[in-house]
Amino acid sequence: MSKLLIRGGEILTGTDRYQAEVYCEGSIIRAIGAKLAVPAGTEVIDATGLLVMPGGLDPHVHMALPFMGTVSADDFESGTVAGICGGVTTIIDFCIPNANQSLLEAL
């Protein structure tokens, strides 16, 4: 399992901003604190002068959306690559329901 320590960055949440280290094992955050003791072999990222924050959410994207005889420029691959470059880790794709169809059914 991969081990990662993000050191020196400023953590930014929805309500707080503070200096701390973040220790992860695999895809799970195991500890947040000052001067964390970590196992040997842990990869360390120096985030000095950088913000450490959760990935963003884009609730309105158009991935390969057919509309008025055309299709939107982004497909799933190009759209998600563009998103991750901007810090977006979660998307909600836009959909157009058929007549008499709810949005939930259209998804």
Q: How confident is the model at residue 23 (pLDDT cuts 50, 70, 90)?
A: very high
The reported pTM is: 0.68
pLDDT tens per residue, range 38-65: 999 999 999 999 999 989 999 989 888 8
Intra-chain end-to-end CA distance of the chain, in Å: 35
Does the domain at 3-52 match CATH 3.40.710.10? Answer given as: no
Q: What is the pLDDT of residue 95?
A: 80
- Asked whether the predicted pLDDT for residue 74 surpasses 90, the reply is no
**How much is the mean pLDDT over the chain?**
91
Question: Where along the chain do its domains lie?
Answer: 3-52, 56-106
Cα 18 from Cα 12, distance rounded (Å):
7
- Asked whether the predicted pLDDT for residue 107 surpasses 80, the reply is no
Q: Which of 21, 27, 17, 26 is nearest to 9 (CA)?
A: 21
Mean pLDDT for the stretch of residues 80-95: 90
- Which residues neighbour 99 within 8 Å (Cβ) at sequence distance 6 or greater? none
- pLDDT, greater one: 90 or 97: 90
